[in-house]
């Protein structure tokens, strides 16, 4: 039976998450591999991992050939600075909309959210080697500082179109920091921001997570699913290699969110 409102369904989802966390408490958190790779279809243990770590890495979401195809499409629409491109799927680029609806992505998110999701936004971050945005480093932030959706309704799928490591500006994470509420943040321009500034609504990382920081070294074609409260950021790209990521945001069906001045989030059925 479907609950009548988002408050009801989020109550159910939170109860299910609490149950998996209580199951996990019989294990040592330190025993969990911070770079563990799941595969589709994800398992119950993968869901437990996500609930407790705040993220899930999934291997082989896209083939190398598909990564090249998606990147070529985005590059054909890029400006000379290779700045971010928002919502290209709404400009008649059917390949991006198809990516947002890819069953192995959507089924993974449905499983993690315990409810069907809608897509709300897509963005490409090129981190193109040698471009003005290459050396940008995202501040530590929580994704939900933007849509401010009731927790845990908002979730992001980040698809790596090239290998990522510390040298070419990989992301970093603070495992389990999603258990914090939406923290106070410094509102910071995060779309086509001025040269010499770093994007990301900056939060102060609580002391208990500082020594848990993980650099996300990952292969292209992989996907990082992020809980919207997990604190994360990225390093500058000081290499000759680009680090493009296609980031797609989703919302649990029935949950409200802020559209955003630049993001202009809207519900898109992906089922």
Tens of pLDDT along 239-266? 999 999 999 999 999 999 999 999 999 9
The confidence score (pLDDT) of residue 250 equals 98
The residues with which 33 forms a beta bridge, in sequence order, are none
Q: Burial code of 138-172, b = ≥16 C-beta within 10 A, e = fewer?
A: bbbbbbbbbbebbbbbbbbbbbbbbebbeebbbbb
**pLDDT, average across residues 56-70:** 98
Burial class for 260, CB neighbours closer than 10 Å (0-12, 13-18, 19+)? middle
With cut-offs at 50, 70 and 90, classify the pLDDT of residue 173: very high
56 forms bridges with which residues in the sheet?
Answer: 225
Query: What is the residue whose two structure tokens read 């054909």?
Result: 76
**Does residue 24 carry a pLDDT above 70?**
no
CA distance between the termini of the chain: 19
- 21 — pLDDT class (breaks 50, 70, 90): low
Give pTM, 2 decimals: 0.93
Three-state secondary-structure class, residue 118: strand
């Amino acid at each position: 039976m479907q609950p009548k409102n988002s408050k009801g369904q989020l109550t159910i989802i939170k109860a299910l998450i609490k149950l998996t966390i209580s199951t996990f408490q019989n294990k040592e958190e330190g025993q969990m591999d911070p770079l563990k790779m799941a595969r589709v279809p994800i398992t119950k243990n993968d869901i437990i991992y996500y609930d407790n770590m705040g993220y899930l890495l999934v291997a082989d979401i896209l083939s190398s050939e598909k990564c090249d195809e998606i990147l070529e499409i985005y590059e054909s629409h890029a400006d000379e600075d290779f700045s971010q491109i928002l919502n290209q799927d709404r400009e008649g680029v059917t390949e991006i909309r198809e990516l947002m609806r890819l069953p192995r992505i959507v089924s993974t998110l449905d499983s993690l959210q315990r409810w069907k999701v809608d897509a709300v936004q897509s963005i490409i971050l090129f981190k193109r080697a040698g471009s003005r945005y290459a050396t940008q480093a995202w501040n530590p932030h929580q994704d939900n500082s933007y849509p401010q959706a009731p927790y845990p309704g908002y979730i992001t799928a980040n698809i790596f179109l090239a290998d990522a490591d510390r040298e070419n500006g990989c992301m970093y994470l603070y495992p389990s920091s999603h258990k914090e509420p939406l923290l106070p943040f410094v509102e910071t321009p995060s779309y086509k921001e001025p040269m010499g500034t770093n994007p990301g609504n900056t939060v102060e990382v609580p002391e208990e997570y500082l020594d848990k920081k993980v650099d996300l070294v990952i292969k292209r074609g992989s996907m990082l699913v992020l809980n919207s409260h997990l604190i994360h950021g990225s390093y500058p790209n000081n290499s000759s290699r680009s680090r493009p990521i296609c980031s797609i945001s989703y919302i649990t069906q029935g949950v409200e969110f802020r559209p955003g001045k630049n993001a202009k989030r809207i519900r898109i059925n992906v089922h």
